[in-house]
Amino acid sequence: MLQRIFIFCLLSGFALPAMALQSQPDKETQRLAEKVIELERSLAILQISTATSDDYQALESQIETLSSQQKTSQQATARINFLSNLVFLMFVALLLCLFQLRRQSRQLSALSNSRQDEK
């Protein structure tokens, strides 16, 4: 039992840092966030200055496009994190099943050996 707990802790110790590295935002998402902030700042400056409505609408459409791209990349990151967690849990379940199978095969072989000794 202690071996199982030790192996589980060891496996989770290897898997958790890998999952933590995956959950950090990538450079593309950071770049998009910075670009949105810059465009919003430019929009505020244009609102104060004497800009035409075409400039205002062009900046607004760029902001909408970039914010939708940012949301899409965040959703993709969330899907990847979910799938990596799911794969890890399935791997742990597989290991547990293999340990149970090994234990049951030992019990079965011990039982068959004891029956052969009785005969």
For the chain of 119 residues, list the mean pLDDT of each consecutive stretch of 10: 64 61 68 84 74 74 82 80 89 94 94 85
CB count within 10 Å of CB 113 equals 10
Count the Cβ atoms, other than its own, within 10 Å of residue 92.
15
Estimate the crossing angle of helix 53-118 against helix 27-48, to 10 degrees: 160
pTM of the model: 0.43
Q: What are phi and psi of 50, to 5 degrees?
A: -95, 70
- The pLDDT assigned to 6 comes to 63
Based on the number of CB atoms within 10 Å of its own CB, is 45 exposed (0-12), middle (13-18) or buried (19 or more)? exposed
pLDDT at 109: 93
Q: Where are the domains of the chain?
A: 20-118
